[in-house]
Chain A
Amino acid sequence: MKKFLCFLSVSLIFVLYSFADDSAIFNQISNAESAFKNGDYNKTIEIYETLIQVEKINNPYFYYNLSNAYYRKGDIGFAVLNIEKAYKLSPRDKDIRNNRRYLLAMTGQTADDGLIESATALFSLNEITIIASASVILLILSLTAFLFFRRRFIKQALSLFIILSILFCSLAALKAFVVLKDRAVVLSASVLKSGPKKDNAVLFNIPSAKIVSVLSSVDDWSRISFKDNDIVIDGWIENNNIGKF
């Protein structure tokens, strides 16, 4: 009995502690939103960046609000970076989709993705991974059942789960191909160089908020590429000028 009471007390302390922790975070969110309403976007950014980077809260709505604050501040590169992070976690959210579309249009880019992106746009990578895993587990279970009960409906279920497993595993692979690609946003207007050194020749200017693919990295430099008017352009940029997502 004593042991039980002791266990209960410890559990309660943990529960209360976690509530206290959450309420502190909600207080900070409230402060951030008040600052936003008063036009103090720097404070809003500071609070949300702290929650994301220090408290390690990986939440699409935090990125969404942070993107709005950067946008109001006029920092379009960071606004695009954070809306892309939000979209990656919650691709079906209407507000996130709308703001992403708006920001991309504003920066002369298009939100219309390729065939693979469109086919997998409804789900986040984790959602589609879970769906694919569930279909594989159901396939295994139906195969197990089929070993013992050779009934017609089990045969049908087995056939269905084979098809679903192939379909969802393929979609998960495609989504992973899209999401796990190293992509980044140019945070401020920069120059592309011919190599990973300050001394290397300047190739092009690249505007802020441009979404690029990261091909490789050497020290503090990344080799990036992007398509401009059907021409693929690549070059080196310092890492502090881009934000990966």
Chain B
Amino acid sequence: MIKGKTIKKAIFFLSAFLLSAALLFADDITISASVNKTSLPLNDSLIYSVTISGNISNFPEPQIKLSDFNVYGTGRSQSMSVINGKVSGSVVFNYTIVPKAIGKWTIAPASIKYKNQTYTTEPITVEVTAAQSVQRQTAPQSSNQNQQPQRAAQSQNGGKIFVESSINKKTVYENEKVVYRFSFYTNMDLASNPEYYPPDFGGFWNDGSQPKNRQTVIDGVRYNVSELETVLYPISTGDKNISPSRLRVAVRDFSMPDNVDKFIAQFFANAGQTQVKDLETKNLKIKVLPLPQEGRPNNFFGAVGEFKIKAFVDKTQVNTNDPVTLTVEVSGDANMKSVVKLDFAVENSLRKYDTIVSKATADSKVFSTILIPLTPGEKTIPQIELSFFNPKTKKYETVRTQTIKFIASGEPVQEEDVYKSGQSGAIGKDINYNKQISDIKTYAGNYIENKKFFIIFIPFILLLIGAFMFKNLTKKLQSISFKSKGAKFNQAWRFIERAEYEIEHGNIGGLYDLIYNALIEAVCAASGLKTQNLQNSQILDFLNSKEIPQSIVEKVKKVLDKLNLYKFAAVRADEKSLKEMLNGVKEIISELKQ
């Protein structure tokens, strides 16, 4: 057999591997809920936040129950962090909610289901007081709102919803940032989340949208406003048209016909009918001007906006032939997509590699360049310039980084030593050239995905099973028929020896079987009998037919009768009788052997 230690080690190794894998992939999720205030007047709103955190990447959306509140807006923010090498993330779902009535209300626990487990928050109690009187106010009209709201739906009880769209500038330059704002005003109950159909932004580069929620008062009426700001960059000049945005919204109308008694109407106050409304904004026109030719610098590559620039290196003291990364960060209220490249030169003692964009966001862009000092001494990276067109001043402007210095020490580097494939972080100047194809061998798909591949194991598994079966069968056969005559007599003597040992130690229990086996083994050896499972009479008949001397047959018969007697009758043999019987069997074996 295999050594026990080896098996234990193998099992330990496998268990440790499985355990560590299980721990590695174990999820740890927490969920909590909070509100930004626990007491508010009826006409105010609060933000209900549900935070889910854990080491998972796809956070499920929580199930919330806000039956005593109207939900006017939702938002979601997600973050990931690495603390002590462990990555964890969290997502916060914010719901802007407005109470329906005065009183103490409990926000039921929010819950999420993840991998068949349910996680819930604690309930939160909120006190709603009487509404504060609303002073007559006008809606905040910012100077950049160019369009009047288009009132699109009104219920009989005065609830209103409407949408409007606006752009922050009517006339812009090519590549200048334009913000398109879609606003949805409501003071009615929404039956479901509205469906937003954005306009056709043809002729503009769409840089994504950001949702916002706020409240406003127009003509003394408070509205919840959901806004979507889309950042656009015109990509061609001329008069542009932004088609209407559309919003499909399902609202509940609680109004009753005028002739219905107020007392009856209150019973149906919660049974509003759901109506689907399609709202649409107006067309917006925008004029896109070409960038002026006058005063255009030579190093202008199309950047439009207001930019800032800064640069730094990752180390100020290096060895020659070690890479230094120069990082240039361009930021500002501008079109970052219009910053396509940075053009700068360095001194000859520095090997400069291609500048790559290592990070790009809506308001910043980071360029990285690897420099390798070829000679020792102080190295200077000159000012890096970015020329751009500033739409505010309507002029071309230039921003510059500061001059950067670092010290290189060590031996001068031969040009051909600068780059070796696979060397510490240095990147080649170019890709390696094409390969000469001399073999058109087609690689198979993944074997592991092909069920037929596993057929190769079948013969070996069958071999193992066959070997097991053969081994067992041989063992069985060897025990009886296929043993040699001498082996059978030896086996008979071994039974006798064991029987003697048992008598000496007073163990009579299995003694009869040992004596019987010894006798039968010897009889089989002498007569060529092939099976042991025979009746006594059959054994004797067989011995008679094989010309075994009658005296031996008689002795065998006597032993078999005695064994039957002691084995099956309520007669118990003493030690002397047993020894006599054993001696009798020994005699029989000796005679049969002769």
Contact of B432 among A36, A99, A176 (CB under 8 A): A99
For the complex, count residues of A whose C-beta is within 8 A of B. 72
Q: Quick check: is B264 within 8 A (CB to CB) of the other chain?
A: no
Contact of A129 among B87, B368, B434, B448 (CB under 8 A): B448
B57 CB contacts on chain A under 8 angstroms: 225, 232, 234
Q: Quick check: is A3 within 8 A (CB to CB) of the other chain?
A: no
| A234 and chain B: residue at smallest CB distance | B58
Do the beta carbons of A140 and B3 come within 8 Å of each other? no
A interface footprint on B437-449 (CB within 8 Å = 1, 0 otherwise): 1011111111111
B358 CB contacts on chain A under 8 angstroms: 108
B3 CB contacts on chain A under 8 angstroms: 155, 159
Contact of A180 among B431, B441, B449 (CB under 8 A): B449
A107 CB contacts on chain B under 8 angstroms: 356
- Chain B contact residues (Cβ within 8 angstroms of A): what range? 35 or more
| B79 and chain A: residue at smallest CB distance | A231
Q: Quick check: is B266 within 8 A (CB to CB) of the other chain?
A: no
Do the beta carbons of B435 and A58 come within 8 Å of each other? no
Do the beta carbons of B461 and A68 come within 8 Å of each other? no
Do the beta carbons of B431 and A102 come within 8 Å of each other? yes
Q: Of residues A166, A205, A207, which shows the largest number of chain B Cβ atoms within 10 Å of its Cβ?
A: A205
Docked CA distance A152–B123 (Å): 69
- In A69-115, the 8 Å CB interface with B consists of 71, 89, 94-95, 97-99, 101-103, 105-108
Give the number of residue pairs across the A-B interface with Cβ within 8 Å: 167
Do the beta carbons of B81 and A230 come within 8 Å of each other? yes
Shortest distance from the beta carbon of A232 to any chain B beta carbon, whole Å: 5
Q: Quick check: is B151 within 8 A (CB to CB) of the other chain?
A: no
Q: Quick check: is A236 within 8 A (CB to CB) of the other chain?
A: no
| A141 and chain B: residue at smallest CB distance | B460
A102 CB contacts on chain B under 8 angstroms: 427-428, 430-431
Do the beta carbons of A68 and B197 come within 8 Å of each other? no
Docked CA distance A207–B206 (Å): 14
Q: Quick check: is A172 within 8 A (CB to CB) of the other chain?
A: yes
B6 CB contacts on chain A under 8 angstroms: 159, 162
Do the beta carbons of A215 and B58 come within 8 Å of each other? yes
Shortest distance from the beta carbon of A12 to any chain B beta carbon, whole Å: 21
Q: Contacts A95-B432, A108-B356, A137-B457 known; A62 to B208 CB distance under 8 Å?
A: no
A interface footprint on B409-421 (CB within 8 Å = 1, 0 otherwise): 0000000000001
B457 CB contacts on chain A under 8 angstroms: 133, 136-137, 140
Docked CA distance A68–B434 (Å): 7
Do the beta carbons of B448 and A172 come within 8 Å of each other? yes
Docked CA distance A49–B430 (Å): 23
Docked CA distance A48–B149 (Å): 58
Contact of B437 among A65, A146, A158 (CB under 8 A): A65
| B208 and chain A: residue at smallest CB distance | A202
Docked CA distance A89–B447 (Å): 12
| A227 and chain B: residue at smallest CB distance | B80
Taking Cβ atoms with an 8 Å cutoff, the residues of A that contact B are 22, 25-26, 29, 33, 36, 56-62, 64-65, 68, 71, 89, 94-95, 97-99, 101-103, 105-108, 125-126, 129-130, 133, 136-137, 140-141, 143-144, 146-148, 150, 155, 158-159, 162-163, 166, 170, 172, 176, 179-180, 191, 199, 201-205, 207, 215, 225, 227, 229-232, 234
For this complex, 17 residue pairs linking A to B, each with C-beta atoms less than 8 Å apart, are: A29-B437, A59-B437, A68-B431, A68-B433, A71-B431, A102-B431, A129-B447, A136-B457, A137-B457, A137-B460, A141-B460, A147-B467, A147-B468, A162-B2, A166-B10, A166-B13, A230-B80
Q: Please name the 8 residue pairs, one residue from A and one from B, whose CB atoms are nearest each other, closest first.
A: A159-B6, A95-B432, A140-B460, A99-B431, A108-B358, A144-B467, A65-B434, A61-B435
